[in-house]
Structure 1
Amino acid sequence: MTHQIDAAHRVDDEAPRDTRTAVLRGFRRRCPSCGQGPLMDGYLKVADRCPVCREELGHHRADDGPAYLTILVVGHLLVPFIHVVFTRLRPDPMVMGTLFAVAAVALSLYLLPRLKGVVVGIQWAKRMHGFSRPA
């Protein structure tokens, strides 16, 4: 099966963007393009554009991806600790529940904006959701 691409539907011919660099910059909550400007305007609001390089960032589509990834990571990190603490130390259930609830909330609050930056960095590197349009 062959595909013909006419001029109106031509794939973006710009140079490839480094996904790893964009992901690391996103995790640090920096602009995936220049790595200098802040990615976020607040705790979770992505800036409309980078103040340093003027890259448009407002059209990202992170949606529920960062929340899902946060739950996935926090669960995978805490469950082994919960198991070890429960089987070896046998603390009072209220103590154990309180400690791990606080740990889960703290870890979630730390990771959520960073994982949102990762999702935006991936979208920027892969030219998804409007990141392919020239500025």
Structure 2
Amino acid sequence: MPETAPTPPRTALVRGLALKCPACGKGALYRAYLKPVDVCACCGAPLGQVPSEDGPAWLTVLMLAPFLVAVTFFVSMSDLPLWITLPGAAITVTGAVMLALPRVKAGWIAVLWSMGKIGSSQE
């Protein structure tokens, strides 16, 4: 059964960044890398119904942009050959995005949950 009292946005965000249910803070938020559980195993919150399509990806790129620009700058200024720097930069950038995206998406889901945005419509 879903929690009846609304979760404050800050509390929900902290729980989401810990990859836990934003409603109770106990159940897991994901069942796979970026797939939210349909319902929380602890409190029954319908986390699979919180819309999170393109927002997390957009926000991840926006947050990582300064880091990505710095990596590009250092690759272009490096005296190392391109066959070393370009794969290194690609691995670094891909790794940063792969590490950040689950937490950004979890935070996104948590904030939308705290706002009561449940269902397929974002109205």
Give CA-to-partner distance per residue, 1:80-102, whole Å, 9 cap, x none.
23314533x33222222111100
Matched, 1:86 2:71: no
Q: Residue 27 of structure 2: which of 37, 43, 54 is its match? A: 37
Measured after TM superposition, the shift of residue 109 of structure 1 is 1.2
- Please give the alpha-carbon distance, in whole angstroms, between the structure 1 residues aligned to 2:63 and 2:56: 10
Q: Which structure 1 residue ranges, 5 or more long, are not aligned?
A: 1-13, 131-135
How many pairs were matched up? 116
Aligned to 2:7: 17
- Please give the alpha-carbon distance, in whole angstroms, between the structure 1 residues aligned to 2:21 and 2:5: 18
Q: Considering only CA atoms, is the larger Rg found in Structure 1 or Structure 2?
A: 1
- Please give the alpha-carbon distance, in whole angstroms, between the structure 2 residues aligned to 1:72 and 1:90: 29
- Please give the alpha-carbon distance, in whole angstroms, between the structure 2 residues aligned to 1:99 and 1:62: 31
- Identify if the C-alpha distance between structure 1 residues 110 and 49 changes in structure 2 by more than 3 Å, giving closer, same or farther: same
Matched, 1:108 2:97: yes
Matched, 1:65 2:46: no
Q: Which structure 2 residue ranges, 5 or more long, are not aligned?
A: none
Secondary structure of the residue aligned to 1:124 is helix
- Please give the alpha-carbon distance, in whole angstroms, between the structure 1 residues aligned to 2:68 and 2:48: 33
- Please give the alpha-carbon distance, in whole angstroms, between the structure 2 residues aligned to 1:47 and 1:100: 33
Aligned to 1:127: 116
What root-mean-square deviation, in Å, do the aligned CA atoms of Structure 1 and Structure 2 show?
1.9
State TM-score, norm by structure 1.
0.75
Q: Residue 38 of structure 2: which of 30, 45, 48 is its match? A: 48
Q: Which amino acid in the other structure matches residue 19 of structure 2?
A: R
**Aligned partners of 2:16 and 2:107 also within 8 Å:** yes
Measured after TM superposition, the shift of residue 15 of structure 1 is 5.7
Alignment identity in percent? 33
Q: Which amino acid in the other structure matches residue 68 of structure 1?
A: W
Q: Which amino acid in the other structure matches residue 65 of structure 1?
A: G
